[in-house]
Amino acid sequence: MTDMERRGRATEAFFGRRKGKALREQQAETLNSLLPAFLIDLSAAPPEPLTSLFPVPVERLRLEIGFGGGEHLIHRALDTPSTGFIGVEPFVNSMQKLLSRIGETGASNIRVYNDDATQLLDWLPDGSLDQIDLLYPDPWPKRKHWKRRFVSKTNLDRFHRVLKPGGLFCFASDIDTYVNWTLIKCRDHGGFDWIANNAADWLTPYEGWPSTRYEAKARREGRSSAYLTFRKI
Ligand SMILES: C[S@@+](CC[C@H](N)C(=O)[O-])C[C@H]1O[C@@H](n2cnc3c(N)ncnc32)[C@H](O)[C@@H]1O
């Protein structure tokens, strides 16, 4: 697929807002100065090996789709410097926030993409990622909008193609219909095993979990969360 074709269908899986409050001058400056250095250029072929996207040596590659405030991404990146993190987020204000945190912390194991994650997924080579995190994706709670949910047969095919054998897909949500939806879609897909060792597993946050802004909001509103882990067969 050419870059034009990839960008030509920009809204395949993104139905949200791209802009919020106007950025203050200094925020816009951060965005404009840092984004070019960290942005993955999909018009170029993926480098070989893909780990050379990063200026530091990394052993594992992990993708976070829709990083929102970026608190989880930054936390994991600082915690695991030997992993290269790719963060995707089309919402400009969130991208600005993450880049500003990258500037403050000096994290050098992060690269970003600022549009629909399906475009990045289609660019990635087969079997290139160790893990994909989809944390609190837009829930689309109304039945008539369920088809907008990021978890779909097509996107699970994408995950399956880009994950290494045994690679992980982690999904967290506070919306029970979305949790059920994801369990059923992954079961029907057939290319993933749900890893749950005991009944409490799916209610137990991931190891080292720092939480996210969206999760905090769900808690305040009285909703608990499920944390699912699937392994590529
Ligand atoms: C409900 S928010 C959750 C944000 C964050 N993960 C958290 O837990 O606080 C979902 C995020 O996914 C992003 N998003 C929605 N569709 C996307 C897509 N197709 N590709 C990449 N990001 C997407 C939205 O812009 C939004 O920031």
Reported as a single tens digit per residue, the pLDDT across 59-83 is: 999 999 999 999 999 999 999 999 9
Instruction: Give, using CA atoms, the residue closest to atom 16 of ligand 1.
Output: 14
87 Cβ below 6 A of ligand 1: no
> Is residue 93 a contact partner of residue 63, using CB atoms and an 8 Å limit?
no
Question: What pLDDT shows up at residue 5?
Answer: 55
SS3 112: strand
Q: Which of 114, 133, 110 is nearest to 215 (CA)?
A: 133
Query: What pLDDT, on a 0 to 100 scale, did the predictor assign at position 92?
Result: 94
Q: Residues 183-221, buried b or exposed e (16+ Cβ, 10 A)? A: bebbeebebbebeeeeeeebeeeeeebeebebbeebeee
Q: pLDDT digits over 22-54, tens only?
A: 888 888 888 888 999 999 999 999 999 999 999
CB-CB contact of 163 with 132 (8 Å) = yes
* pLDDT for res 4: 52
Assess whether the C-beta atom of 115 lies below 6 angstroms from ligand 1: no
Show Cβ contacts of residue 184 under 8 Å, excluding neighbours closer than 6 positions.
none
The pLDDT tens digits for 172-195 are 999 999 999 999 999 999 999 999
64 labeled binding residue: yes
Mean residue pLDDT of the chain comes to 93
Q: Is the pLDDT of residue 119 over 70?
A: yes
Question: Phi then psi for 74, rounded to 5 degrees?
Answer: -65, -45
- Residue ranges and CATH numbers for the domains of the chain are 3-232 (3.40.50.150)
For the Cβ of 8 lying below 6 angstroms from any atom of ligand 1, the answer is no
Task: Give residue 25's Cα distance to chain centre.
Answer: 28
Pick the atom of ligand 1 nearest to 17's CA. 25
| 3 assigned to a ligand binding site | no
Alpha carbon distance 80, 18 (integer Å): 29
Closest CA to 135 of 73, 80, 61, 198: 73
Q: Which of 1-10, 42-51, 92-101, 222-231 has the lowest mean pLDDT?
A: 1-10
- How confident is the model at residue 27, as a pLDDT? 84
- What separation in Å is there between the alpha carbon of 65 and the centre of ligand 1? 7
Active site residue 138: yes
